[in-house]
Amino acid sequence: LRRLCLMLPFELTKSLVRHTLAYDMMQSTRPETYSADAKGVYAVGISIKHRNGKFLTGNEICAIVLLIKAYADAAEVYFNNGKKWNPKDPSDDVHRIDEQFRSKLTGLDEPPRWANSASTIPKLRALVQVLEELAAAAARAGRLDVPLTQSPLMVGCTQRPIDETVRQHIPASGLHSTTATYGLMLCAIQFHGKGKIVPESIAVPILATCEPEDLADGERLVTTLAQSLVNQTSFNIIELGGTKDS
């Protein structure tokens, strides 16, 4: 791990630890990174279009929290009801959130897009806690109406060129193969924003790993530095360190 630590660009590591990665990459003083055609470890942050890399405001985060709470509640009812939507339970917002960045649903009986099993629901509730802490920090600073320079991150690794793999995490891709918490966050922002608040994904190569055996260690290292698990401060929902593309 010491060797991998020495391979991390210093300024980029600071952005990673501070969770200002998306913001910093949009500035003229952006940190140096590895080439996007390298294999290795990457991180993805979210910014809002036309905000120069900044994220949501505290008030906007509070609105997203309400949407994700309602989504998790409705998904829980769905699974507790034998994978059927309860007609008495309002699921319209769930379906409208699920329609973001993809074609219309084929039917209202489709399962929740971002909770494909009951085991995912606690992860969505953990994301709520992450967002509530961000909003609370903004409130303590008296800056609920100011876009944040910090945003949660998602870390992944790939044995293919990074720029090929990260396409699956970009909204325009349809988000068919991305992490549930991250995908739900993008869709909830898009739904809430109604075209005025548009999320953008900022994907950044963090570590180029030439040796296959370095990939798992490198991903664990970057995950630790970014505190990127959803029960910490970000989006990742499983312990990382595998060798599959993610």
- Asked whether the predicted pLDDT for residue 240 surpasses 90, the reply is no
d(CA 121, CA 158): 27
- Asked whether the predicted pLDDT for residue 246 surpasses 70, the reply is no
d(CA 50, CA 195): 12
pLDDT of residue 53: 98
- State the average pLDDT over residues 68-83: 94
Q: How far apart are the first and last CA of the chain?
A: 21
Higher confidence at residue 93 or residue 221? 221
Q: Quickly state the pLDDT bin for 90 (edges 50, 70, 90).
A: low
d(CA 158, CA 165): 7
Q: Quickly state the pLDDT bin for 242 (edges 50, 70, 90).
A: very low
CB within 8 Å of 207: residues ≥ 6 apart: 4, 7, 8, 34, 40, 41, 218, 221, 222
- State the average pLDDT over residues 230-243: 77
pLDDT of residue 105: 67
- State the average pLDDT over residues 220-244: 83
| Cα–Cα distances in angstroms (integers) from residue 222 to residues 11, 148, 183, 186, 218, in the given order | 14, 22, 21, 22, 6
pLDDT of residue 189: 99
- Asked whether the predicted pLDDT for residue 69 surpasses 90, the reply is yes
Helices (H) and strands (E) in the chain, counts: 9, 3
122: left (phi over 0), alpha (psi -120 to 50) or beta: alpha
Higher confidence at residue 25 or residue 211? 25
Dihedral sign, Cα of residue 213, residue 6, residue 8, residue 152:
positive
d(CA 212, CA 30): 29
Tokens of 76: 């829980």
- Asked whether the predicted pLDDT for residue 218 surpasses 90, the reply is yes
DSSP codes, 208-239: E--STHHHHHHHHHHHHHHT-BTTTTSSB-S-
pLDDT digits (tens, 9 = 90+) for 135-187: 999 999 999 999 999 999 999 999 999 999 999 999 999 999 999 999 999 99
**Of 70-84, 99-113, 163-177, which gets the smallest average pLDDT?**
99-113
- Asked whether the predicted pLDDT for residue 239 surpasses 70, the reply is no
